[in-house]
Amino acid sequence: MTDRRPYNLLSVIIPAHNEQDNAPACASAVSRLLDSYDIDYELIFVDDGSTDRTWLRLTQLARSDERIKAICLSRNFGKESAIFAGLENAGGDVCAVMDCDLQHPPETLVEMYKVWRDGDGVDIVEAKKRSRGTESGGYRFFAKLFYRIMNRVSGLDMSDASDFKLLDRRAVDALLRMPERLTFFRAMSSWVGFNTETVYFDVAERRSGKSDFDTKTSLKYAVTSITSFTSAPMQLVTVLGVITFIIAMIFGINTLYNKLTGNSEAGFPTVILLQLITSAIIMFSLGIIGYYLSKIYEEIKQRPRYIISEKLNLDRRD
Condensed to tens digits (0 to 9), the pLDDT of residues 34-93 reads 999 888 989 999 998 888 899 999 999 989 888 999 999 998 888 888 989 999 898 888
- Looking at the fold, whether 289 and 196 belong to one and the same domain comes out as no
- Looking at the fold, whether 30 and 100 belong to one and the same domain comes out as yes
Whether 50 and 75 have beta carbons less than 8 Å apart is answered as: no
Higher pLDDT, 12 or 193: 12
For helices 215-229 and 232-260, the axis angle rounded to 10 degrees is 90
Average pLDDT of every residue of the chain: 76
- Looking at the fold, whether 285 and 207 belong to one and the same domain comes out as no
User: Does residue 111 form part of some domain?
Assistant: yes
pLDDT band at 135 (very low <50, low <70, confident <90, very high): low
pLDDT band at 285 (very low <50, low <70, confident <90, very high): confident
Whether 89 and 317 have beta carbons less than 8 Å apart is answered as: yes
Whether 183 and 228 have beta carbons less than 8 Å apart is answered as: yes
Which residues span the domain enclosing 292? Answer: 232-301
- Looking at the fold, whether 57 and 80 belong to one and the same domain comes out as yes
CA distances from 8 to 3, 18, 93, 188, 215 (A): 14, 31, 6, 24, 40
User: Does residue 226 form part of some domain?
Assistant: no
Whether 239 and 197 have beta carbons less than 8 Å apart is answered as: no
DSSP 101: T
What phi and psi values does residue 14 have, to the nearest 5 degrees?
Answer: -130, 95
- Looking at the fold, whether 293 and 240 belong to one and the same domain comes out as yes
- Looking at the fold, whether 116 and 39 belong to one and the same domain comes out as yes
Higher pLDDT, 292 or 316: 292
* Alpha carbon distance 157, 308 (integer Å): 34
- Looking at the fold, whether 251 and 309 belong to one and the same domain comes out as no
Smallest CA-to-CA distance from 9 within 50, 45, 40, 55 is with 40
- Looking at the fold, whether 206 and 296 belong to one and the same domain comes out as no
- Looking at the fold, whether 132 and 275 belong to one and the same domain comes out as no
User: Does residue 225 form part of some domain?
Assistant: no
* Alpha carbon distance 227, 234 (integer Å): 9
Structural domains counted in the chain: 2
Assign residue 248 a region (left: φ > 0; alpha: ψ between -120 and 50; beta: otherwise).
Answer: alpha
CA distances from 67 to 57, 94, 108, 248, 300 (A): 15, 15, 20, 67, 37
Chain centroid offset of residue 206 CA: 19
For helices 215-229 and 268-301, the axis angle rounded to 10 degrees is 80
Q: 125-129, 214-218, 223-227 — which is least confidently predicted?
A: 214-218
Whether 175 and 85 have beta carbons less than 8 Å apart is answered as: no
User: Does residue 221 form part of some domain?
Assistant: no
pLDDT band at 152 (very low <50, low <70, confident <90, very high): low
Assign residue 78 a region (left: φ > 0; alpha: ψ between -120 and 50; beta: otherwise).
Answer: left
Q: Is 12 a residue whose pLDDT tops 90?
A: yes
Q: Is 24 a residue whose pLDDT tops 80?
A: yes
Whether 246 and 216 have beta carbons less than 8 Å apart is answered as: no
H helix or E strand, kind and range, residue 71: strand 68-73
